[in-house]
Amino acid sequence: MNNIFLALTLLLSTKPLLAASKVFESTNKKSPLFELYTSEGCSSCPPADDFLQGFEKDKSLWKDYIPIAFHVDYLDYLGWKDTFSTADYSQRQQSYARLWKDEGVFTPAFVLDGKLWQNWYRSALPSRIDEPAPKLKLTLNAESAALDVEGLKESKGCYKALFAPLLKHSANKIAAGENKGRILTHSFAALALIAVPLQRVGERGSALTKISLKKATAIVGWIEKCSSPGAVQAVGGDI
């Protein structure tokens, strides 16, 4: 009897986790991806981090703009290894630099809709333009994420789907480097970056991947062409 009770208890306790799923959908108007390339080892980055933090309670969040912070690893040598940094994020920024034919990368750097945006410290974010875009449906389960696409206008072309679990808000005390002694707050920090091929059938496409949601409080998914970075359409939400 005790074994049966234990089995039922385990089943009931795990069922919500396995059965629960969340669905996030975009419209057929573009929701631009708003990327910040930052580092805890960069003394000029906290103001940019604060700028992004303003979106945490903004009514336009996940509608007009999809924010994400990529913590690069190329400044880790300055004496402090960034809590969130990975080479994947640095490589993404370097891909942008090659696309723009820039000589190098730097922090802080905002990328709005695939283009470098340098006026963040003196102007508000531009209003979203009603630009047609494919419609995305992001389905999130306990250990997997799926992205379904409708409205790909090109009859041919290689696309990939990208997924990024986020930590929407955090604070870290920095023990060394340029920000030694400071408590830095972070918003929409990427915890991983997963890219998988988009399987296409005409104007539709789909992608499926395993994903870890440990520590994640939000999720972002988007599609872009295989040949270059820059989201064609993005979707996201709190989890």
How do residues 70-80 score in pLDDT, each as one tens digit?
Answer: 999 999 999 99
The answer to the question of residue 189 being in a domain is: yes
How do residues 176-195 score in pLDDT, each as one tens digit?
Answer: 999 999 999 999 999 999 99
| Tokens found for residue 14 | 């795990």
Number of domains in the chain: 1
Q: Give CA torsion, residues 63, 238, 225, 133, to 10 deg.
A: -20
The answer to the question of residue 156 being in a domain is: yes
- Domain of 187, CATH number, reads 2.60.40.10
Residue 99 has φ and ψ, to the nearest 5°, of -60, -40
pTM: 0.90
Distance of CA 83 to the CA centre of its chain: 16
The answer to the question of residue 136 being in a domain is: yes
Per-residue pLDDT at 203 exceeds 90: yes
User: Which residues 6+ apart lie within 8 Å of 232 measured at CB?
Assistant: 133, 134, 159, 222, 223, 224, 225
The answer to the question of residue 220 being in a domain is: yes
The answer to the question of residue 57 being in a domain is: yes
How do residues 5-42 score in pLDDT, each as one tens digit?
Answer: 333 333 333 334 434 699 999 999 999 999 999 999 99
pLDDT category, 126, cuts 50, 70, 90?
confident
The answer to the question of residue 226 being in a domain is: yes
- What confidence score (pLDDT) does residue 157 get? 85
| Domain residue limits at 201 | 19-238
- Rounded CA-CA distance 147/24 in Å is 10
Residue 151 has φ and ψ, to the nearest 5°, of 100, 25
Q: How many CB atoms lie within 10 A of CB 47?
A: 10
- Rounded CA-CA distance 119/110 in Å is 9
User: Which residues 6+ apart lie within 8 Å of 214 measured at CB?
Assistant: 191
CA angle (219, 38, 220) in 5-degree steps: 10
The answer to the question of residue 6 being in a domain is: no
The answer to the question of residue 216 being in a domain is: yes
